[in-house]
Amino acid sequence: KAGVTQTPRYLIKTRGQQVTLSCSPISGHRSVSWYQQTPGQGLQFLFEYFSETQRNKGNFPGRFSGRQFSNSRSEMNVSTLELGDSALYLCASSFGNIQETQYFGPGTRLLVL
Amino acid sequence: GENVGLHLPTLSVQEGDNSIINCAYSNSASDYFIWYKQESGKGPQFIIDIRSNMDKRQGQRVTVLLNKTVKHLSLQIAATQPGDSAVYFCAETLNDMRFGAGTRLTVKP
């Protein structure tokens, strides 16, 4: 069974731009969560989607948004990029909810210049 | 805000020794705990989990201990191998998942 895939793997943007990251969960998984990982803040929860609905949300500004499609694939968007948004963005999927084993993708490394 | 924290940022052990990685969590309502291993350039990899109705759970070479009284979680790795070198994160969940800062385990051959 294929694992969680994320595209693109690497991305360079400039301040003020926006970016969209994509995540394909493991087949059959309906819950998709997004995380931001930085050296200073570690791994932080962004949001969780289930059945195309945002079910939980972390403490991030409204510039960070996401959505989930009917096939459980998910995208996250960051608008008006800031230098501090440079990070590894990780996606994880599980069958039904965040309290089940989550499987992580390799991440998208975003650099904002 | 509440965060899961780790006692030690780095741990160095000799190959073949046992490793113990500790974690303190702050939300007494958290009911599901997980240990993840992250190697350079990869996403976190699930190691073992434990629910709040248990005190101990064993896997292959790994054991997780949960002490709810003091809100402490530990990961024990038996016969540590060079391939175990990585950053280890604990995480607690209730409505979201919160990670500790991570402990870098280095195994010396």
Q: Report yes or no: A60 at the B interface, CB cutoff 8 Å.
A: no
The answer to whether the Cβ–Cβ distance between B95 and A90 falls below 8 Å is no
Q: Report yes or no: A56 at the B interface, CB cutoff 8 Å.
A: yes
Question: What pLDDT shows up at residue A63?
Answer: 97
Question: What pLDDT shows up at residue B107?
Answer: 96
Query: Looking at beta carbons, which residues of chain B come within 8 Å of A99?
Result: 31-32, 93
Q: Which of A99, A101, A103, A109 best probes binding to B when mutated, by most B CB atoms within 10 angstroms?
A: A99
Question: What pLDDT shows up at residue B103?
Answer: 92
Give the 3-state DSSP-derived string for A36-103, with helices as H, strands as E and coil as C.
EEECCCEEEEEEEEECCEEEEECCCCCCEEEEECCCCCEEEEECCCCHHHCEEEEEEEECCCCCCCCE
Write the single-letter amino acid at B68.
K
Separation between Cα atoms, residue B90 and residue A42, nearest integer Å = 12
CA-closest candidate to residue A32, choices A53, A11, A16, A12: A53
pLDDT digits (tens, 9 = 90+) for B8-20: 589 999 999 999 9
Separation between Cα atoms, residue A7 and residue A10, nearest integer Å = 8
Q: How far is A97 from chain B (nearest CA, A)?
A: 9
Query: Looking at beta carbons, which residues of chain B come within 8 Å of A103?
Result: 46
CA-closest candidate to residue B86, choices B66, B70, B68, B62: B62
Chain B: residues touching A (Cβ < 8 Å) = 1, 31-32, 34, 36, 41-46, 49, 89, 91, 93, 95-102
Contact between residue B80 and residue B96 where contact means Cβ atoms under 8 Å apart:
no
Question: What pLDDT shows up at residue A97?
Answer: 76
Q: What is the dihedral of CA B83, B84, B87, B93, to 10 degrees?
A: 130
pLDDT in tens, chain A (113 residues): 689 999 999 999 999 999 999 999 999 999 999 999 998 888 999 999 999 999 989 999 999 999 999 999 999 999 999 999 999 999 999 998 777 888 999 999 999 99
pLDDT in tens, chain B (109 residues): 334 543 458 999 999 999 999 999 989 999 999 999 999 889 999 999 999 999 999 999 999 999 999 999 999 999 999 999 999 999 998 878 889 889 999 999 8
Write the single-letter amino acid at B102.
G
Which residue's entry shows tokens 């054991």? B63
Q: How far is B65 from chain A (nearest CA, A)?
A: 18
